[in-house]
Structure 1
Amino acid sequence: MKKVWEESFKIASYHLDFQQELKPSVLQQYFQEAAGNHAESLGAGYDILMERELFWALSRIRVEIDRMPKWGETIRIETWPVGLERLFFRRDFRMYDEQDNEIVRGASGWLLVNAKTMRPQRLAALGVELPDNAGRFALEGTLPDRISLETPEPVFRKVIRYDEIDMNMHVNNTRYLDWVTDCFDREHYEQNALSAFSLEFLSEVRWGNEMEMQIDRNGTEAKVQAVETASAKALFKADVEWRKRD
């Protein structure tokens, strides 16, 4: 049993933004790929859980960024389960560059969900022993709190189409970061670099849903949410933080 999983990724051109830096959504894809591979090796991967009508659902995540890797770099991710926080299965990760400098770190909270009832399950339902990494945190403290917006303003609307639907027939949560980062213009990116983000996932987003992206700005921080236009229900929320570029 590997207590800590390591996996490397080479930054390809199609993973970059216009500044030749890794897109935040791809950063999250790397982390989830490594997390999924570790779960598979522990006997708690996608196929095994689906046979028992269970699946993992990411509920919230916090990521802090010293710098984004650039085109051609090879990065290494370490990820490990930490333990339980209420119903959340916590999993942390760190990202290193080729000189073994830590450049990104994060903490995530996952729910083990029954595929029929869609209700969260406790540890006993997993039926697998998880490695003991108690006290080994990439980020100190508990998982991020709920996110609230005070004076949200509309940015854009969109309807979910083919390109955003994954193999589970809903939108993969990594795509939410694309919509969050679409709320800022080119000038903003030329002047600022993303330093941290938190995401809170509230409801599935499916093919044909129409939603409105809304933003609440406060200096170097902004809070963003997606609201289903038909029901006015919040689908997910984000808290993004920026620092001035050199």
Structure 2
Amino acid sequence: MKDFKQEKVIDYGNCDEEERLELPFLVEYMMEVSNKQLDNEHAGINDLMERGLGWVVLDYDFTIHRLPRAGERVVFTTKANGYNRIFCYRDFSVEDLAGKKLVEVRSQWVMLDLATRRVVAPDPAWMKELDNPPLDHLPRFKKARPLREWDNSQSYSVRYYDLDTNHHLTNSRYFDWIIDALPREFLNTHEPVSLNITFKKEVKYRQEAQSLVKIDMEKLTTDHEIRNSNDVAALAKIVWRKN
């Protein structure tokens, strides 16, 4: 599958106090671009739903050189990057109009049977139609660890508009909750350099969840956990730099 590109102007309403694109909207822009590519290949959300299937992300690894700014015109690019008997892989990037990389993202996905909620193996014939090659060596993803202690926590209840077409908490909302657990002053004086997140368990409608964070000001790292009752729903680690 070839690279798919889409030019976007960053909406002011999707940016923070410092006019930087918010991480949840960065993810939503990424999903918009990948869905458009998949729609063109008859493998988008609606095509999968007709088969009773859905895409579910397991991991993201972000390298952030600079977050796009309000009003900036940038190019989002995505490409399917192979599969094995369980996982599918997809890369994303954001560039300015001069071609300078602003953000690079690797991701790992599975197909889910929406009725049984079980993982479905990719169909090799279908993957060949999509020009998505089989992989002998799988990409490695950084894995954050569960927190034993934390500096702050925030509680949330999953609302209707927090749900996606797979009927669980949409993955961009995790980024919202992760950032919301950090102090405002810290967020206004620091920018993320890298972020890795692993999604462990679905969070569903009206369930209660907590966003926990441990802050290391010496290393400029924050470790995050989204906890649903006694279950770990997601784990993340962010490396920061001062503005």
Question: TM-score surpassing 0.5?
Answer: yes
Residue 125 (structure 1) shift: 6.9
Determine the structure 2 residue equivalent to 1:195.
193
In the alignment, is the contact (CA less than 8 A) between 1:226 and 1:237 conserved in 2? yes
User: Percent same amino acid among aligned pairs?
Assistant: 24
Residue 52 (structure 1) shift: 1.2
Comparing 38-47 with 171-180, which one deviates more in the overlay?
38-47
Determine the structure 2 residue equivalent to 1:93.
92
Comparing 184-193 with 65-74, which one deviates more in the overlay?
184-193
Determine the structure 2 residue equivalent to 1:127.
126
Q: Give unpaired runs (5+ residues) of structure 1.
A: 136-140
Residue 61 (structure 1) shift: 0.7
Comparing 215-224 with 18-27, which one deviates more in the overlay?
215-224
Determine the structure 1 residue equivalent to 2:36.
37
Q: Give unpaired runs (5+ residues) of structure 2.
A: none
Q: Secondary structure at the match of 1:87?
A: coil
Determine the structure 1 residue equivalent to 2:22.
23
> What is the root-mean-square deviation in Å for CA atoms of aligned residues?
2.1
Q: Distance between the aligned counterparts of 2:130 and 2:149, measured in 1?
A: 41
Q: Distance between the aligned counterparts of 1:72 and 1:134, measured in 2?
A: 39
In the alignment, is the contact (CA less than 8 A) between 2:81 and 2:133 conserved in 1? yes
Comparing 5-14 with 111-120, which one deviates more in the overlay?
111-120
Q: Distance between the aligned counterparts of 1:65 and 1:187, measured in 2?
A: 20
Match of 2:146 among 138, 145, 149: 149
Specify whether residues 189 and 119 from structure 1 end up closer, same or farther in structure 2 by C-alpha distance, changes over 3 A only. same
Q: Distance between the aligned counterparts of 2:133 and 2:98, measured in 1?
A: 25
Determine the structure 1 residue equivalent to 2:106.
107
Match of 1:159 among 154, 157, 160: 157
Determine the structure 2 residue equivalent to 1:69.
68
Q: Distance between the aligned counterparts of 1:163 and 1:192, measured in 2?
A: 29
CA displacement, residues 193-233 of structure 1 (integer Å, 9 cap, x when unaligned): 1111111111222221111111233331111011123xx11
In the alignment, is the contact (CA less than 8 A) between 1:114 and 1:120 conserved in 2? yes
TM-score (norm 1): 0.88
Q: Distance between the aligned counterparts of 1:114 and 1:168, measured in 2?
A: 10
Q: Distance between the aligned counterparts of 1:164 and 1:112, measured in 2?
A: 21
Q: Secondary structure at the match of 1:27?
A: helix
